[in-house]
């Protein structure tokens, strides 16, 4: 049946898989939370930027963006004839802005952002393909204090909107590639070993790591609370070239854990999925009882010819909202169409949501209930609907 012949109104409202409409009151609730998260960033000195929804794929996939090639929708630009990419991640765009448009400005740069992204396929934990991201980037500093600032900024933003029972899992995406290089595992074997480690597949690790299998197994077994994990990592016969990675890991994890007793800190030294373009520490936020990550971040290098060190985070609103209480409905006040505008302005200033009548009705109470109003303006004052 052609589109014109389809008379079923339900079919006309169907959306592609992984996309959905946001309805009241959830759309307003999400917008409010997003602004609260951004406000925390701005109060910490992070300035907002707004990248475009679509870019040339050559720029979108450069530097850190290379990791997003297989998750990005592409289309032809009818104006330039060049291929465009519909962004699937905002971090890579902010990295481009920092290295090009703002490359000449003061460093460190502190930037924050929010916006929608679209991905070809959903991940294992979220069925959505259209996602809302909120994030921040600290660009131009590469030390433990910068890592700590970014982690605490994300934690404070989540806490300020009502996030509870938050945990942080810190990983070291640069450790395994460095270790594979140091012990001389063949280049073609490295990706296979990396995949085996991600899957915690002991037989495959034995096959690809050979005599070093116990070392890689020890890295897997070192995952856990930060203090016990650090002790286990230090006990492993790792090359001295790995020490800078472990020292940064210990410094950051210890500082965060000791500064805030409410924040549980764990370490997983071999986790790398989703951290493909990270060159230093990575981290993920979780909330007890909530499916999926609240957000993730870490250290990466800008593609600006200077190897500028940067650290940032991205919060995933779909998961963040699941970790928060349901939105509280504000009082809605049904008002007559004859009410004076100065009275309306005064009511709104006092926090009322005003809904004006557009015609005469038989029952104000029934009309208020139909329009989801909790109060009626009568006798020059609001009164609750019974």
What crossing angle do the helices spanning 144-160 and 26-43 adopt, rounded to 10°? 140
Mean pLDDT on 247-254? 96
Q: pLDDT tens digits for 164-193?
A: 999 999 999 989 989 998 888 887 888 889
Per residue in 208-228, pLDDT (tens digit) is 988 899 999 999 999 999 999
Q: What residue ranges do the domains of the chain occupy?
A: 18-163+288-328, 174-270, 332-384
- Check residues 352 and 66 and name the one with the higher pLDDT: 352
β 264-268/166-171 pair status? parallel
Options 2.40.128.110, 3.30.450.40, 3.30.930.10, 3.40.50.1220; CATH for 18-163+288-328 is 3.30.930.10
In this prediction the pTM is: 0.88
The mean of the pLDDT values for the chain is: 90
Lowest mean pLDDT among 3-12, 185-194, 252-261: 3-12
The strand ranges marked E within the chain are 47-48, 54-56, 73-76, 83-86, 109-118, 130-139, 166-171, 224-225, 264-268, 278-287, 295-301, 309-316, 332-335, 353-356, 375-378, 381-384
pLDDT band at 279 (very low <50, low <70, confident <90, very high): confident
Task: Look at residue 2 in the predicted model and tell me its pLDDT.
Answer: 46
Mean pLDDT of 92-115: 90
């Amino acid at each position: 049946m052609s589109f014109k012949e389809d008379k079923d109104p339900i079919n006309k409202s169907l959306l592609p898989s992984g996309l959905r409409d946001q309805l009241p009151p959830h759309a307003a609730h999400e917008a409010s939370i997003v602004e609260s998260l951004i406000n925390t960033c701005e109060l910490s000195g992070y300035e907002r930027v707004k990248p475009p929804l679509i870019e040339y794929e050559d720029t979108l996939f450069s530097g850190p963006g290379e990791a997003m090639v297989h998750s990005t929708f592409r289309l032809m630009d009818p104006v330039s004839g060049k291929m465009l990419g519909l962004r699937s991640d905002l971090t890579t765009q902010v990295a481009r802005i920092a290295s090009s448009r703002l490359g000449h400005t003061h460093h460190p740069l502190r930037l924050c952002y929010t916006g929608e992204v679209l991905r070809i396929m959903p991940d294992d934990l979220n069925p959505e393909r259209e996602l809302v991201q909120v994030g921040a980037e600290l660009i131009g500093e590469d030390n433990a204090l910068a890592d700590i600032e970014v982690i605490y900024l994300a934690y404070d933003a989540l806490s300020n909107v009502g996030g509870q029972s938050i945990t942080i899992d810190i990983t070291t995406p640069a450790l395994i590639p460095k270790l594979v290089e140091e012990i001389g595992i063949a280049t073609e074997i490295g990706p296979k070993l990396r995949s085996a480690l991600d899957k915690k597949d002991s037989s495959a690790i034995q096959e690809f790591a050979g005599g070093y299998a116990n070392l890689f197994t020890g890295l897997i077994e070192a995952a856990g609370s930060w203090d016990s994990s650090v002790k286990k990592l230090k006990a492993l016969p790792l090359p001295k070239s790995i020490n800078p990675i472990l020292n940064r890991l210990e410094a950051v994890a210890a500082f965060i854990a000791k500064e805030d007793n409410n924040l549980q800190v764990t370490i997983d030294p071999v986790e790398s999925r989703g951290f493909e373009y990270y060159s230093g520490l990575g981290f993920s936020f979780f909330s007890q009882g909530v499916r999926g990550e609240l957000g993730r971040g870490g250290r990466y290098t800008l593609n600006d010819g200077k190897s500028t060190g940067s650290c940032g985070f991205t919060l995933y609103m779909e998961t963040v909202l699941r970790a928060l209480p349901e939105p509280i409905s504000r009082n809605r006040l049904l008002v007559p169409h004859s009410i004076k505008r100065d009275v309306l302005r005064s009511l709104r200033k006092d926090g009322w949501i005003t809904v004006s009548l557009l015609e005469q009705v038989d029952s104000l109470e029934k009309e208020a209930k139909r329009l989801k109003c909790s109060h009626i303006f009568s006798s020059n004052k609001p009164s609750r609907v019974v």
